[in-house]
Amino acid sequence: MTTAPPPASLIPRPVLFWSGVALTSAGVIEHLWMFLECAPMDFDMSMMTMTPAMWAAMVAIVVGVVLSALALRQPAGARSAPAPGAETTTAGRRRLIAILSFALIVDQMKPATLAFVSPGMRQEYHLSAADVAWLPTVALTGTVLGSLIWGRAADRIGRRATILIASLLFLGTTVCGAMPSFSGNLIMCAMMGMAAGGMLPVVYALMTESLPPGRRAAIMVLQAGLTTTGGYMAASGLAALLLPLSGWRMLWFAQLPPVLLLIALNRWIPESAAFSAGKERATRVPAATLFRRPQTTKTLIVTAYGLAWGLVYWGFITFLPSQLEASHSHGMSAATLLFLSSLLAIPTCALAAWLYTRWSARNTMVLYAGLTVASLVALAVLGLDDSGPLTLAAVMLLFAGTAGVIALLGPYTAEIFPTAIRGTAGGWVAAVGKSGGAFGPPLIALVLSAPGGMRTAAVFVALPMAAAGVAVLARGSNPQAAREATDKTPLDAELDSLLHDAPVPARP
């Protein structure tokens, strides 16, 4: 008689897990206490050295994160246990959507905060503009590595466990606010970036596998766009409230309560049933599967789309505020452009979600790529010296187009890849897009030195976006079939054919 595998608990070793959380929290609180003791010095910690208590607190944070991560490891052969009411009731699904949306807002707050801590950090440490530029560079490099690591981890240890481990790293890296040296801040920001880089692809994978077909795609696209806006608004709101009172360091510590709340809400984050069923597969699916037939074309298409977005967003748009201010013709500050970007994301993403579901996922991807290209071409023709409404409209459409592109890319990737490599694919695409933060600014700076300046740069970044749009139109997958499938999806049939060298069945 065959014995059924034991059921898995939500947290296999709860005592060990919560002990690790408590130990990590204690380490963070010790750093917070040291920060508060610097109030008489206007919270300037740059002249301090790491005390024995702070080193002990750092050890507590590392040990706590490791203990909690080990506590999440399921016993061999254990079956997945769903979270209470997570996938079986309408109320449970709505609760799951709300929790995962909250997780993405917390995730987006981390990189968004960099823009608000940089001025105060530069002043306290007496840094040059070139020195402080290392902060976003290191953090974005961390997000690239994090996307690759956690995307792969989601396919190995599970979606739920990966989200919780990323949350634990969020908790530990709030001590950015107490690092006495700038080098210490760089190290902690790199770790913060690694945690932040992995949340998006894992959440999209879990959403795809936990919600029923129908409105799922629209919910994911809307969620992708609005949580990005929500993360920026939360970071900017905290900055407006706390910077005049306690300076830039408090912006990191202020993220401690929402991270603790996210960890406490883990009870209602389920493991994906599709992932759990796939764990029974005898053959382990390697990450290189992304670049093997029949996945190769899909991987290359979403890679091109992500690279094109990264070049436009991290390259061209990074220089846009300074170029507009240098023209002295618009009176538009960088803060105004950021506000417009956040504001335009709301209707842009709502429209993208509607079109993605009601019209065509593939055509919606092409439409927003085309909108981005058209706005870039308009800026190349008009230039930034023209103060007319056409130039301002082109700038606004550029923000609308890029907001739609990134809102569509993550959900689209999650829908077109098989369950066994969905997290890996999402992590790869997220890493590709964020890598634009490393190569985009220096590349565009080089182009700006060529004849034509910003006009030339606009054409330069429009070309790869146009190529990506054409690639999606010509060879892009249509996730509608996978969305409507019930039992074994065509995506998993493709994967089986790859693993067993069988012919791939024809798809409509």
Residue 507 near residue 490 (C-beta atoms within 8 A):
yes
Q: What residue has token string 């977005």?
A: 309
User: In sequence order, what DSSP letters do the residues of 436-488 get, joined into one string?
Assistant: HHHHHHHHHHHHHTSTTTHHHHHHHHHHHHHHHHHHHHHH---THHHHH--SS
Q: What sign does the CA torsion over 271, 276, 278, 283 have?
A: positive
| Residues forming beta bridges with residue 7, ordered by sequence position | 79
Confidence (pLDDT) at 88: 58
- What is the C-alpha to C-alpha distance for residues 204 and 222, in angstroms, rounded to an integer? 12
Sequence letter at residue 23 = L
Neighbours of 245 (CB within 10 A): 8
- What is the C-alpha to C-alpha distance for residues 138 and 110, in angstroms, rounded to an integer? 13
User: In sequence order, what DSSP letters do the residues of 139-179 get, joined into one string?
Assistant: HHHHHHHHHHHHHHHHHHT-HHHHHHHHHHHHHHGGGGGG-
Confidence (pLDDT) at 495: 52
Neighbours of 336 (CB within 10 A): 13
Confidence (pLDDT) at 472: 93
To the nearest 10°, report the CA torsion of 304, 310, 313, 314. -150
Taking the CA atoms of the chain, what radius of gyration do you get in angstroms? 23
Confidence (pLDDT) at 400: 85
Q: What sign does the CA torsion over 75, 149, 58, 163 have?
A: negative
Confidence (pLDDT) at 7: 44
Confidence (pLDDT) at 491: 53
Confidence (pLDDT) at 411: 86
- What is the C-alpha to C-alpha distance for residues 273 and 280, in angstroms, rounded to an integer? 12
Residue 504 CA, chain-centre distance (Å), reads: 33
Render pLDDT for 263-297 as a digit per residue (tens, 0 to 9). Answer: 988 888 888 777 777 665 546 777 788 888 888 89
* Assigned token pair, 466: 């146009």
Sequence letter at residue 482 = A
Provide the residue count of the chain: 508
Alpha helices in 255-388 (DSSP H): 256-264, 273-278, 296-310, 317-327, 334-358, 361-382
Of the candidates 300, 288, 272, 299, the residue with the CA atom closest to the CA atom of residue 499: 288
Q: 273-276: long-range contacts at Cβ-Cβ below 8 A with a sequence spacing of 24 or more?
A: 273/80, 273/82, 273/87, 273/209, 273/210, 274/209, 274/419, 275/80, 275/155, 275/158, 275/159, 275/205, 275/209, 275/419, 276/79, 276/80, 276/158
Q: Which residues contact 402 (CB under 8 A, 6 or more apart)?
A: 309, 312, 313, 317, 372
Q: Which residues of 66-77 are buried (b: 16+ CB within 10 A; e: fewer)?
A: ebbbebbebeee
Of the candidates 171, 231, 233, the residue with the CA atom closest to the CA atom of residue 24: 171
Confidence (pLDDT) at 373: 95
Q: At what angle do helices 296-310 and 361-382 cross, to 10 degrees?
A: 30
Q: Which residues contact 242 (CB under 8 A, 6 or more apart)?
A: 250, 251, 254
Question: What's the longest Cα–Cα distance across the chain?
Answer: 81
Confidence (pLDDT) at 313: 84
- What is the C-alpha to C-alpha distance for residues 314 and 66, in angstroms, rounded to an integer? 34
Confidence (pLDDT) at 172: 87
Confidence (pLDDT) at 335: 52
The stretches in the chain having pLDDT less than 50 are 1-7, 83-86, 282, 334, 485-488, 494, 497-508
